């Protein structure tokens, strides 16, 4: 153990309250493990929003469809990075992929990820953009025309029959994609929910709560991106679309909130021996991040705003402002949810008699700066994706698909 | 066959080719690039086991010590340390078993060794003998009082502890642990029946302490002073606590 680590742990030791076991002082799953479910949740949520158009025929949300798909892809590309960085040797990660371990629940993420990336997102985006890519391959200048030709796998057929087949394929993939998105984020919840030694995590409700909070955050991020991107392009925001997305956001928040309340009541009623330490932890160590940020700011306030907007028909500008504010608050709230699950689960002793403290690093592989970088990276990737595969077409024509 | 290919939509054929190439590359890498041992299904790789088997053996195991050191071995096996292997304290002894005369395993006689296990730590099981190394007979090597092969807790003289338990406990961890109370205290028999009427006496002269601590006394390993100049007119216990005499740690 390095001297710096000993110094750091000695400093933390002073902040321990009650009794803890000697090996508990170091919190192993740190900020990056908070970022991981947050990013994966955005992927699953954005995809669910996109699937509303193709599977459930919600025509109003059409303008956000391609954006949602590209958002999901941008975040999915970043999703494994927090894990690989957390493990300490990201440069060795190829070994995991080449020698997969079929009996490890943790290694299952690789399979779930590969399935979702290759057979759902990439395929659906390819079919969705195939016609456009064929056209751009013909109209763009060198070298971009070759880039599009390679992207479209040199296909040239844009006859009505072929385009109809593309649409069918997109629908079929979306139908497979919905359970896949559920599995992707349900899996992240499962990894926590299946740790039976940890009463804060060990609950069959965790995957479902994770899933619905993912849908909430995914819809909110697409709503935010749609508003920002459309405004920055100097276009009018489609208010019908925005209202509809906000309605879905409201429904998702209601379901998510009910599930979290259910989980809370369930824990209180069960009153297992861990309830005392968990109550102490929630009231002390997690009072800001859980009660203030997750429940009040991240859940009740946006819920109230969205309900008020639904009841009173405000004018367009005020509605936009309120949607924007509540979507941002929801992002803060869902990030706090991930924080409270991951860090909260490690802040109490397994003896149920003491509480620990987590001190965040600033620099280093698992530090704050790396987490901020990983949260910015998907937006950079999305910017590139929007340049390469603009949802609104090359000549700013409206998306007709 | 040709009809079949014309019926399959064009994009599907292209995608199948891409995925085919992708999986082909993976299978190629797995089949020909990755070393065989990385693909073994067992818990340990054969090469790792071979490497470990080839490494030099340092520990001889506890059984072999009994062949020569049967007395210590039997004593240890009857005492509290029966589950400890000899090499836990004496270190790896393979070399010693091969060349007994050329190599002698170390015997830790320093004070720092035993507290590795016996320092007070709340996570140790209840009843496990634990001490505070700072206060417990400071500076003295543990083996002065405890036999590591038969580490019974010392039996402190206890005739006074029925009433003076606190003092007895304090003294048990001090340098004066083996001194009977009556060495210093004058205790008439009546003190035991009517302790408040007939008091036990305290030393009133410095001679008692000086018998060990004077620079001219023959007792070894105790702090020495010049009894005629040190402390002027005071009796020793007015400044020093005889139940837990202080120790200069320097």
- Check pLDDT > 50 for residue A15: yes
- Lowest mean per-residue pLDDT among A334-338, B52-56, B142-146: B142-146
Taking only the tens place, the pLDDT of each residue in A214-244 is: 999 999 999 999 999 999 999 999 999 999 9
For residues B74-95, average pLDDT: 92
Q: How many CB contacts within 8 angstroms connect chain A with chain B?
A: 36
Q: How far is CA B118 from the centre of its chain?
A: 5
CA gyration radius, chain A: 23
Please state the ipTM of this predicted complex: 0.81
Residue with tokens 């290694």: A107
Given pLDDT bands bounded at 50, 70 and 90, which one contains residue A296? very high
- Check pLDDT > 90 for residue A79: yes
Report yes or no on A376 lying in a domain. Answer: yes
Between chains, do A153 and B11 touch, taking CB under 8 Å as contact?
A: yes
The model's pTM:
0.73
Q: How far apart are CA B124 and CA A307, in angstroms?
A: 57
Q: Report the pLDDT value the prediction gives residue B7, as an integer from 0 to 100.
A: 77
8 Å CB contact between A130 and B15: no
Residues from B contacting A (CB-CB < 8 Å) are 9-11, 14-15, 17-19, 26, 29-30, 34, 38-39, 121-123
Q: Which residues are paired to A54 by β-bridges?
A: none
Given pLDDT bands bounded at 50, 70 and 90, which one contains residue B229? confident
Question: For a pLDDT cut of 70, what percent of chain A falls above it?
Answer: 98
For residues B150-175, average pLDDT: 80
Taking only the tens place, the pLDDT of each residue in A248-264 is: 999 999 999 999 999 99
Report yes or no on A95 lying in a domain. Answer: yes
Report yes or no on A23 lying in a domain. Answer: no
Q: Report the pLDDT value the prediction gives residue A6, as an integer from 0 to 100.
A: 77
Residues of B in contact with A130 (CB under 8 A): 11
Residues of A in contact with B29 (CB under 8 A): 98
Between chains, do A22 and B121 touch, taking CB under 8 Å as contact?
A: yes
Between chains, do B11 and A21 touch, taking CB under 8 Å as contact?
A: no
Provide the mean pLDDT of chain B.
85
| Residue among B10, B122, B123 minimizing CB distance to A155 | B10
| Residue among A98, A118, A157 minimizing CB distance to B34 | A98
| Residue among B14, B17, B38 minimizing CB distance to A99 | B38
Q: How far apart are CA A225 and CA A173, in angstroms?
A: 24
Task: Using DSSP, state whether A274 is helix, strand or coil.
Answer: coil
C-alpha pair distances (Å), B85 with each of B56, B63, B129:
20, 9, 19
- Check pLDDT > 70 for residue A177: yes
Taking only the tens place, the pLDDT of each residue in B34-48 is: 888 888 877 888 888
| Residue among B10, B39, B121 minimizing CB distance to A157 | B10
Beta-carbon-side half-sphere exposure of residue B179 (alpha carbons within 13 Å): 19
Q: Report the pLDDT value the prediction gives residue B230, as an integer from 0 to 100.
A: 86
Q: Report the pLDDT value the prediction gives residue B42, as an integer from 0 to 100.
A: 79
Given pLDDT bands bounded at 50, 70 and 90, which one contains residue B156? low
Report yes or no on A348 lying in a domain. Answer: no
Q: Report the pLDDT value the prediction gives residue B195, as an integer from 0 to 100.
A: 85
Taking only the tens place, the pLDDT of each residue in B102-124 is: 999 888 888 888 988 898 887 78
Given pLDDT bands bounded at 50, 70 and 90, which one contains residue B157? low
- Check pLDDT > 60 for residue A342: yes
Task: Using DSSP, state whether A324 is helix, strand or coil.
Answer: helix
Q: Which residues are paired to A348 by β-bridges?
A: A355
Report yes or no on A6 lying in a domain. Answer: no
- Check pLDDT > 90 for residue A78: yes
What is the number of structural domains in chain A? 1
Report yes or no on A397 lying in a domain. Answer: no
CA closest to B26 among chain A residues: A98
- Dihedral Cα A243, A247, A252, A257, nearest 10 deg: 110
Report yes or no on A312 lying in a domain. Answer: yes
Closest chain A C-alpha to B30 CA, distance in angstroms:
7
Between chains, do A98 and B30 touch, taking CB under 8 Å as contact?
A: yes
Q: What domain range includes position A57? A: 28-342+360-388
Tell the burial category of A66 from Cβ atoms under 10 Å away from its Cβ (0-12, 13-18, 19+).
Answer: buried
Question: For a pLDDT cut of 90, what percent of chain A falls above it?
Answer: 73
Report yes or no on A3 lying in a domain. Answer: no
Taking only the tens place, the pLDDT of each residue in A50-76 is: 998 888 889 999 999 999 999 999 999
Taking only the tens place, the pLDDT of each residue in A92-124 is: 888 787 788 888 888 888 899 999 998 899 999
- Lowest mean per-residue pLDDT among A25-29, A145-149, A300-304, A385-389: A25-29
Taking only the tens place, the pLDDT of each residue in B172-185 is: 778 888 788 888 88
Substitution target in B11, B16, B19, B35 with the highest count of A β-carbons within 10 Å is: B11
CA closest to A99 among chain B residues: B39
CA closest to B40 among chain A residues: A99
Between chains, do B14 and A19 touch, taking CB under 8 Å as contact?
A: no
Given pLDDT bands bounded at 50, 70 and 90, which one contains residue B15? very high
For residues B46-73, average pLDDT: 91
């Amino acid at each position: 153990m390095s001297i710096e680590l000993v110094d750091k742990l000695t400093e933390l030791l002073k902040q321990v309250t009650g009794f803890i076991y000697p090996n508990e002082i170091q919190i192993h799953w740190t900020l990056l493990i908070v970022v991981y479910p947050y990013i994966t949740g955005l992927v699953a949520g954005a995809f669910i929003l996109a699937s509303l158009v193709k599977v459930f025929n919600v025509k109003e949300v059409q303008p956000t469809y391609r954006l949602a798909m590209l958002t999901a892809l941008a975040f999915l590309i970043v999703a494994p990075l927090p894990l690989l960085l957390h493990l300490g040797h990201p440069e060795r990660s190829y070994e995991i992929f080449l020698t997969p371990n079929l009996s490890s629940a943790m290694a299952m993420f690789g399979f779930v990820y590969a399935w979702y990336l290759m057979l759902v997102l990439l395929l659906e985006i390819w079919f969705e953009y195939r016609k456009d890519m064929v056209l751009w391959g013909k109209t763009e200048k060198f070298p971009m025309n070759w880039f599009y030709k390679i992207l479209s796998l040199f296909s040239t057929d844009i006859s009505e029959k072929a385009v109809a087949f593309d649409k069918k394929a997109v629908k079929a993939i979306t139908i497979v994609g919905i359970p896949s998105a559920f599995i992707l984020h349900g899996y992240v919840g499962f990894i926590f929910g299946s740790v039976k030694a940890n009463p804060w995590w060990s609950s069959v409700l965790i995957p479902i709560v994770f899933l619905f909070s993912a849908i909430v955050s995914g819809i909110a991020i697409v709503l935010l991106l749609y508003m920002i991107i459309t405004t920055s392009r100097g276009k009018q925001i489609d208010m019908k679309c925005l209202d509809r997305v906000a309605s879905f956001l409201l429904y998702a928040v209601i379901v998510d909130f009910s599930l979290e309340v259910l989980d809370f009541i369930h824990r209180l009623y069960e009153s297992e021996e861990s309830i005392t330490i968990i109550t102490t932890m929630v009231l002390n160590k997690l009072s800001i991040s859980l009660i203030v940020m997750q429940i009040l700011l991240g859940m009740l306030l946006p819920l109230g705003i969205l309900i008020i907007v639904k009841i009173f028909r405000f004018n367009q500008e005020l509605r936009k402002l309120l949607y924007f504010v509540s979507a941002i608050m929801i992002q803060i709230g869902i990030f706090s949810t991930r924080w409270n699950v991951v860090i909260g689960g490690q802040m109490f002793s397994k003896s149920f008699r003491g509480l620990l403290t987590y001190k965040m690093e600033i620099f280093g592989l698992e530090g704050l700066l790396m987490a901020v970088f990983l949260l910015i990276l998907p937006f950079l990737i999305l910017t590139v994706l929007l340049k390469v595969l603009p949802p609104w077409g090359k000549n700013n024509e409206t998306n007709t698909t | 066959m040709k009809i079949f290919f014309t019926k399959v939509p064009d994009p599907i054929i292209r995608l199948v080719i891409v995925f085919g190439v992708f999986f082909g590359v993976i299978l190629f890498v797995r089949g020909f690039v990755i070393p065989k041992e990385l693909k073994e299904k067992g818990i340990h790789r054969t090469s790792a086991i071979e490497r470990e088997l080839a490494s030099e053996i340092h520990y001889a195991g506890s059984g072999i010590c009994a062949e020569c050191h049967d007395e210590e071995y039997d004593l240890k096996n009857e005492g509290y340390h029966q589950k400890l292997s000899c090499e836990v304290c004496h270190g790896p002894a393979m070399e010693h078993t091969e060349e007994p005369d050329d190599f002698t395993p170390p015997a830790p006689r320093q004070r720092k060794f035993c507290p590795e296990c016996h320092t007070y730590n709340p996570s140790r099981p209840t009843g496990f003998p634990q001490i505070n190394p700072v206060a417990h007979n400071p500076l003295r090597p543990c083996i002065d009082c405890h036999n590591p092969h038969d580490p019974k807790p010392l039996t402190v003289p206890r005739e006074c502890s029925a009433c003076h338990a606190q003092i007895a406990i304090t003294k048990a961890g001090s340098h004066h642990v083996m001194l009977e109370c009556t060495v210093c205290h004058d205790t008439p028999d009546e003190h035991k029946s009517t302790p408040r009427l007939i008091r036990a006496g305290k030393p009133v002269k410095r001679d008692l302490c000086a018998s060990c601590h004077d620079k001219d006394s023959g007792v070894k390993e105790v702090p020495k002073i010049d009894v005629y100049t040190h402390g002027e007119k005071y009796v020793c216990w007015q400044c020093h606590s005889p139940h837990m005499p202080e120790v200069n740690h320097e």
